[in-house]
Amino acid sequence: MLETFFPNTHFIMKKLVPSLLVICLTPIIASAQARIGTGEMMDLYKQYCAACHGQNMEGGQGGSLIDGVWKYGGSDADIAKVIRNGIPEMGMVPWKDVLDEEQIRGLIILMREQKLLAETTGLLEKVKPLGGVYSTELHNFKMEKILEMEDILWSINFLPDNSTLLTQRSGILWHLKDGVKTEIKGTPKVHAVGQGGLLEVSPHPDYESNGWIYLSFSEHVGAKIDDKDASMTAVVRGRIKNNKWVDEEEIFRAPAKFHTIKGGHYGSRFVFKDGYLFFGIGDRQEGDPAQDLTVPHGKIHRIHDDGRVPEGNPFYNNKGAYKTIWTYGNRNPQGLDLHPVTGEIWETEHGPRGGDELNLIKPGVNYGWPVITYGMNYDGTPWTDKTHMEGMEQPVHYWLPSIATCGIDFYEGDKFPGWKNNLLATGMSAEELQRIVIEDGKVTHIETILKQQGRVREVASAPDGSIYIALNTRSPNTGVLWRMIPLPEPQWTSLFNGRDLSGWEVRDGSSTVLVDDGAMVALQQDTDAFTYLTTMKNYSDFIFEVDVKVIGDLNSGIMLRGQSNPNFKGGNLYGYQMEIDQSERQWTGGIYEEGGRGWLYSLEGKVDAQKAYRKSEWNHYRIEAIGDHFRTWVNGVPTLNMIDGKTAEGVIAFQIHKLSKSGGGGAVYIRNARIVSEDAGNGIQGIEIPAVAMDAESTSTGAE
């Protein structure tokens, strides 16, 4: 998806009058992803589909369209076949005589969008920082703000001394060294209109010996259309001496006849390889020229790094072809990088509404735009029903809905070792940074590692292995440079030596606790009082993991920050208790406040969490108590995310419920108890459950 909306020529000729060639784009820029679930396709869905599948695709007489379960195949082609031909024996009528192929394609895109919306809450919660700590699958990190500017921060790159080059889209090149930002004077004049301005910056691979720095930008050289200034992407190189831009040389300039008044799709990223410079130019919001080999629009180009055109380019000898073309059919390539191991060139480009692409760039290949796409128009009308066509390359991966992908970078540093050689991809409208694992030319895993912190336009790894990102906001335009700081792995301390109860004490009740076969075993015996096996040390912030097995007809739990007061409850323990529930209710992982408000967070209606517990078997628990946040997992399944600031410190204890006077009984087995108590917040784990804040005055909602 793009920052702006403008139908390309393909649809201007069909649906718009010529006088609408230029419109004000700014108000639409900020709301690109907000269009999800709107427009003609949603109207069509409500007219024909909602009665069976629900207003929000949640299901009804027909199945859910957003739960990822597809009885007849989940590919786009499978779903289209079902819509087209129906499943009469299941009550699904055929729609081929009512809906055309473009409309069917549009409905599929709409389903994909709605599925994302259904998943958004959990994703947002999982990547939300806690205490400034961002949690991911392999590394936790914090964000350090480096600088802020009153405009769009477009490109980040580094010199060998680890100092930073930054482009401000309005036309300023900055050099940041030792915390001091210096403007480089004398850089080219830019045509800063729409998406245009000063764009990419990159030093030559042999910068230390030749000093060359390359810039791409939008320029106006005097060409006009309908008395309006036209522009195009240009590339120059120069050197920086005494904070001035000098020795400028032209590397690429398109003749004025190719300039256009459209305000976007300039492309502009660089890759250096084997003495060549690769760079992209978007379709300039005109669409059809991306398939035209006589124009530079919608292409990846290859030139020598001094600007000469290589005779080995795939269309060099084609009569009338633009000789620098390396690939074509590229809508707006704003991400370009070299794989550090394979040497392959990878590219990301904006689709329309849906259909952003990740492509492996190969010489002479047609990537299909605007003939094929996985997206639709911004107004929710179909673009085309075609996603495949002979002679046109398929993307390695596509985003549907769009994330408005921009800069990309293969991580090559050592500060985040688990991310080595993974692709970091930005998303502007989705406001996210993704980590993409690529193996044998295929995407095998994608993780969102940052979301809703701002429009992520650029990501770059520094020579020292640090990762920098550019976050931008609108109204007014601001750009902020951030550095991601990796956090060390948490240091675990064992709370059980496997031999005896050192560090623990038994209190309040008279049930017996002993050690047997490497486990602490609490036998349910007391008919009058709860017995607790408790640490002899208080803990405030901590991450606690343990395996527990409950045998028999009894209730148990893990007390968190337990308290005792001789003037309350006879001095017995009270406080937060994570429930271990053997009953059919299955509320294991919820929190009950013993001696206080009763149930603070039950698992009523939380089906996935209720299913996590395995009755009378070993179960693994993870409990995070960080400040006023409590989060629990049962066998790896998130069960609770609660905010409550009543108790800041206390003991950890295992409850052995009092024995029923009618008999019964059982035992609680405990092993592998370990804790992180120093800088525990640095070791948090992301959780998909939205946080719920407790009312300090709330009362029990049920018996324990």
Contact 558, 528 (CB under 8 A): no
C-alpha 83: how far from its chain's center?
Answer: 31
Cα 528–531–535 angle (5° rounding)? 160
Q: How far apart are CA 176 and CA 166, in angstroms?
A: 8
Is the CA virtual torsion 41, 47, 49, 54 positive or negative? Answer: positive
* Residue with tokens 């600088």, as numbered in its chain: 147
Residue with tokens 């092993």, as numbered in its chain = 671
299 vs 285: CA distance, rounded Å: 13
Helix residue spans in 94-171 (DSSP H): 101-127
Closest CA to 300 of 275, 328, 277: 328
For residue 43, give the amino acid letter: D
DSSP 434: E
Question: Residue 686 phi/psi, 5° resolution?
Answer: -65, 145
How far is the CA of 204 from the CAs of 201, 252, 328, 343, 466, in angstroms? Answer: 10, 15, 25, 17, 20
φ, ψ (nearest 5 deg) of residue 381: -95, 155
Q: Is there a catalytic annotation at residue 10?
A: no
Question: Which residues face 133 on adjacent strands?
Answer: 130
- SS3 of 612-633: the string is CCCCCCCEEEEEEEECCEEEEE
- Separation CA 261–CA 115 (nearest Å): 37
408 and 459 in contact (C-beta within 8 Å)? Answer: yes
Q: Measured between alpha carbons, how far is 440 from 448 in angstroms, rounded to an integer?
A: 21
- Tell me the HSE value of 104 on the side-chain side, using a 13 A CA sphere: 22
- Whole-angstrom distance, CA of residue 79 vs CA of residue 86: 10
Catalytic residue among 10, 139, 191, 265: 265
Residues 303/277, Cβ–Cβ less than 8 Å: yes
Residue 191 and residue 595: Cα distance in Å, rounded? 69
d(CA 629, CA 645): 8
Q: Which residues pair with 624 in a beta bridge?
A: 543, 631
Q: What's the burial of 662, exposed, middle or buried (CB within 10 Å: 0-12/13-18/19+)? A: exposed
Q: Is 533 exposed, middle or buried (0-12, 13-18, 19+ CB in 10 A)?
A: buried
Q: Are 279 and 267 in contact (CB under 8 A)?
A: yes
Instruction: Find the angle CA(688)-CA(557)-CA(693) to the nearest 5 degrees.
Output: 40
Give the position of tokens 């760079």.
Answer: 279
Give the catalytic positions in this structure.
265
